[in-house]
Amino acid sequence: MRLFCKRFCVFALIFTALAAFSPLSAQETTDADSNFNLPVVEKVLQNGLTVLILERPGVPVVSFSLMQPVGAQDAPKGKTGLPHMLEHMMFKGTETIGTLSYAKEKPILDEMDKVAQETNDENEKLQPSTERLKALADQMEKLEQEHHQVVVKDELSAIYTQNGGQSLNAWTSQDATNYTITLPANKFNLYATIEQDRLSHPVFREFYSERNVVAQERRWRTESNPEGKLSEALESTAFSASPYKDPAIGWMSDIMKLMRLDAEAFYHQTYRPDQGVLAIVGGVQAKDIIPILEKTLGQVPNPTVPPLKKNWTKEPPQEGQKTVHVYFDADPMVMMGWHMPNFPHADGLALDVLSDILTTGNTSRLMQHLLFGKKLVTSISTETGFPGDRSPNLFVLSFNPAPGHSADSIVSAIDAEIADIQNNGVTQAELDRARRNIESAFLWGKISTSDLAQDLAYNQAVHGDWRYVTRYMDMVRALTPDDIKKVAAEYLTSENRTIAYLERPAK
């Protein structure tokens, strides 16, 4: 279950990107190599959109990552999941893509909004009228049928697919929203043109049927999945004030009353070219594509409304251990989270390394002692940066108890392992091995153009500088065994911890 958080991804770029320009021989790569010169071409277009280009000559594809530094934690109160819903709507087309006639379509969309608002209003009443709700549902269905006559389904996706687009997708995390696609390298113009239109003239058609799709997504990923349920319980229990307490997909009751006009308003507040980042990696040349970008994506206007002011509530210090029990028809699982600082705090980096020392590989401490040694667990893992890393977040440890061992007895064994590190520290050999693991994982996890593009865009958009790609390992290399001991003592305490137990309900 260990996931390298996004900031980890960046180091791989060092090797891969160098590959494009200054191939390294094996002999040239030593542990001391760290000051790599990543040949990213950086260009700010006239509307403020930051473009990062990494040329990879000879590769017949080009990957794009268009990242906005807006995520689930930016959702307005009572509208959790709105940023994710907006992400879905960005696939619905424009004033000219996805419709036979936007002029005919617009009044229908407006009418749908009215019906949806009336439905919300009725549902908010202490005693909603079933007759009224049924009449509104019938009205909505009629409008949907009418709308069906003018809509061209999924046309934006179809254009890309027909042109060889792969990995056409998008994701919304707590911190950012990202749009990806990989195209044959000769389709650059297609991307620039379509994206200019998508960002300049989006139309959030089919909003209310897509709301049902998102509800299905929530049921599938979270409500019908033991791990999904448990991690949601951990988030919402560990955080009491930070917006990280709300799930990125949103609460079901919020999802089901989201409105198209909410998404439009949020779009104009947050999807600003002057805050966005576009990373391009693949078989293209910067000198050829920059003029095209200026004429296309560079023309997307910044909205006239003021940008959303980030005003996240800070999580107060936790003053005692919290626990939560989730009942689900599945074998037991446990997740525990300790509060930790956000990137690029040095303690966060030390916790990244500690995570590796604890559970990466058969030689890691908890694998050796608890899985192979005492056989208390059948799997165990750790990760940092949960559920995001722009705000203070969690160091998470998850395990599946071996049959016959209670979750609490395993928690005690884990506590003893942590106490050992708090008292006696880790060895230089453990630190070196962790560092090599992190380097290797970066290297191998990120050889694809698509991953490279996302890493560059994420670091620029969320952390403010794509160069963290190259700085991260330098920062990790500066750590000493004492740094690891110190963060174990400071953060991995019971007062700072939340434990979420998944248990089978009694029959």
Partner 1 sequence: MNCEFSILNFSSFNSKFKIQNLKLKGILFSAVVGWITVFLPSIGFSKAPFVPETAPLNIQVPAFDVKTLTCGIKVIFLKSDEMPLVSINLMIPGGSILDPEGQEGLGSLMTSCLRNGGAGDLSPEAFDAALENKAVDMSASVDKESFSAGFKCLSRDLPEVLPLFADMLRRPQFNIKRFETDKADSIDEVSRLEDTPDALTRVLFSKALLDQSPYGHSASPKSLSLVKQGDVLKFYQAHLGPAGSVLEVTGNVDEEKVLAQLESLFGDWTAQEKLPDYAEAKSLGPVIYFYPKQVSQVFIRFGVLGLKRHDPQDIPLSVANYILGGSGFTSRLMHQIRSDRGLAYFVDSVTVPFNIRGIFEVIGGTRPDSVKEYLTVMFQVLNDFAKTGPTESELQQAQKSMVEEFAYNFESPFALADYHTSLTFNGYPDDYLQTYRDKVKAVTQVQAASAASAILSQKDWVLIVAGPEELEKDLEAFGTVHKVTSIFDPLVSNP
Of the candidates 133, 261, 324, 402, which one interacts with partner 1 according to CB under 8 A? 402
Of the candidates 240, 285, 323, 378, which one interacts with partner 1 according to CB under 8 A? 378
Pick the closer one to partner 1 by CB: 210 or 262: 210
Pick the closer one to partner 1 by CB: 346 or 429: 429
User: Shortest Cβ distance from residue 319 to partner 1 (Å)?
Assistant: 26
Phi and psi torsions of 204, nearest 5°: -90, 60
Query: Rounded to whole angstroms, what are the CA distances from 300 to 248, 304, 305, 485?
Result: 28, 12, 15, 50
Pick the closer one to partner 1 by CB: 58 or 306: 58
Q: Are 189 and 87 in contact (CB under 8 A)?
A: no
Give Cα 249 distance to the centre of its chain. Answer: 11
The DSSP bridge pattern shows strands 497-503 and 322-327 to be parallel
The DSSP bridge pattern shows strands 322-327 and 61-68 to be unpaired
Which positions from 418 through 477 interact with partner 1, judged by CB under 8 A?
433, 436-437, 439-441, 443-444, 447-450
Binding of partner 1 by 28 (CB under 8 A)? yes
Binding of partner 1 by 223 (CB under 8 A)? yes
CA–CA separation, 223 and 220 (whole Å): 6
CA–CA separation, 63 and 181 (whole Å): 6
Pick the closer one to partner 1 by CB: 51 or 333: 333
Which positions from 35 through 94 interact with partner 1, judged by CB under 8 A?
59-61, 84, 87-88, 91, 94
H-helix or E-strand containing 349? helix 346-359
Binding of partner 1 by 154 (CB under 8 A)? yes
Q: Are 458 and 30 in contact (CB under 8 A)?
A: no
User: Shortest Cβ distance from residue 463 to partner 1 (Å)?
Assistant: 17
Using CB under 8 A, count the residues that bind partner 1.
122
Q: Are 156 and 92 in contact (CB under 8 A)?
A: yes
Q: What is the DSSP letter of 245?
A: G
Task: Detail the DSSP E strand segments found in 115-175.
Answer: 166-172
Q: Closest Cα to residue 276, out of 48, 114, 435?
A: 48
Pick the closer one to partner 1 by CB: 139 or 437: 437
Pick the closer one to partner 1 by CB: 60 or 78: 60
Binding of partner 1 by 386 (CB under 8 A)? yes
* Cβ neighbours of residue 471 closer than 8 Å, sequence gap 6 or more: none
Binding of partner 1 by 20 (CB under 8 A)? yes
User: Shortest Cβ distance from residue 302 to partner 1 (Å)?
Assistant: 17
Stretch that binds partner 1, among 125-133, 218-226, 255-263, 298-306 (CB under 8 A): 218-226
Q: What residue type is assigned to position 288 of the chain?
A: D
Both tokens assigned to 424 = 């006696």
Stretch that binds partner 1, among 243-251, 309-317, 467-475, 476-484 (CB under 8 A): 243-251
CA–CA separation, 17 and 269 (whole Å): 34
Stretch that binds partner 1, among 196-204, 314-322, 413-421, 482-490 (CB under 8 A): 196-204
Which positions from 270 through 299 interact with partner 1, judged by CB under 8 A?
none
Measured N-to-C along each axis, helices 155-162 and 188-200 cross at an angle, to the nearest 10 degrees, of 170
User: Shortest Cβ distance from residue 23 to partner 1 (Å)?
Assistant: 5
Binding of partner 1 by 413 (CB under 8 A)? no
Pick the closer one to partner 1 by CB: 444 or 465: 444
Which positions from 134 through 153 interact with partner 1, judged by CB under 8 A?
148, 152-153
SS3 for 292? helix
CA–CA separation, 221 and 230 (whole Å): 11
Q: What residue type is assigned to position 94 of the chain?
A: T
Phi and psi torsions of 66, nearest 5°: -105, 110
* Cβ neighbours of residue 356 closer than 8 Å, sequence gap 6 or more: 364, 434, 437, 438
* Cα distance from N-terminal residue to C-terminal residue, the chain: 29
Pick the closer one to partner 1 by CB: 423 or 504: 504
Which positions from 163 through 182 interact with partner 1, judged by CB under 8 A?
163-174, 182
Of the candidates 9, 97, 351, 488, which one interacts with partner 1 according to CB under 8 A? 97
Of the candidates 243, 276, 387, 392, which one interacts with partner 1 according to CB under 8 A? 387
Both tokens assigned to 20 = 């494009």
User: Shortest Cβ distance from residue 126 to partner 1 (Å)?
Assistant: 25
Binding of partner 1 by 361 (CB under 8 A)? yes
Binding of partner 1 by 3 (CB under 8 A)? yes
Of the candidates 310, 375, 416, 423, which one interacts with partner 1 according to CB under 8 A? 375
Of the candidates 330, 341, 467, 493, which one interacts with partner 1 according to CB under 8 A? 330
User: Shortest Cβ distance from residue 189 to partner 1 (Å)?
Assistant: 5
Q: Are 10 and 455 in contact (CB under 8 A)?
A: yes
Binding of partner 1 by 107 (CB under 8 A)? no
Pick the closer one to partner 1 by CB: 435 or 486: 435
Neighbours of 139 (CB within 10 A): 16
